[in-house]
Amino acid sequence: MAEFTEIGQRCSAPLCNLKDFLPFDCDCCQQVFCLNHRSYASHECPLSGTKNMTAIVCPLCKSTIRLSDAQDANAEWERHARTSCSPEKAAKKARKRCNADGCREVLGLSNSHTCAQCHAAVCLTHRFAESHNCARGFADAVELVSHVEGEHNGGAGLTATSTSTGGYDYGKCVMA
């Protein structure tokens, strides 16, 4: 029978000394432990508080101040207020919102569209000229209608009519 003396490590917990073939390394104290002593509490790790992080938000500049268990929140906030706090940062950035009437959609990289006619920033729901009451889009449609009606010598042509939702309905064929 072959012995596996070079495989595995012994547990660093006092009174344990168990040889474990799948040992655990403590990320705080850098010692090796068996399955039963792998948690901070079970091997009474003296450095376990260094991994527990909390955060407070500065009321002046709205920045986040990270704290470990060993740090006092009041002392760290006072240090922050003396050194790196700048209330000018607290000026709230205006979120870009859709320009369509009544729409409160916040525009981001994946849901924004710039209208080709009026160059307004709108959400994807209002990306068409008729859905965001595009003034220039309506002017282009009226110009198209007059051009089409002129070609037909007063015959049937395209018109732009107002809809009940405030948009415009293009392309209805009416007899003049």
Taking residue 172's Cβ as centre, other Cβ atoms within 10 Å add up to: 10
Question: pTM of the entire structure?
Answer: 0.34
The chain-wide mean pLDDT, for the chain, equals 77
For residue 26 the two structure tokens come to 């403590």
In this prediction, residue 34 carries a pLDDT of 93
What are residue 114's phi and psi, to 5 degrees?
Answer: -105, 125
**49-93 pLDDT per residue, tens:** 777 778 888 888 888 888 877 778 888 888 888 888 877 766 665
Residue with more model confidence, 175 or 47:
47
Q: Matching CATH topology for 8-49 and 94-176?
A: yes
pLDDT at 31 over 90: yes
d(CA 114, CA 103): 15
Q: What angle do CA 101, 106, 112 make, to 5 degrees?
A: 85
**113-138 pLDDT per residue, tens:** 998 888 889 999 999 888 888 776 55
94-176 CATH fold? Zf-an1 domain (4.10.1110)
What's the whole-number mean pLDDT along residues 28-39?
91
Q: Class for domain 8-49, per CATH?
A: few secondary structures
Q: Please count the helices (runs of H) and the strands (runs of E) in the chain.
A: 2, 10
DSSP for residue 117:
T
Domain layout of the chain by residue ranges: 8-49, 53-90, 94-176
What's the whole-number mean pLDDT along residues 89-107?
80
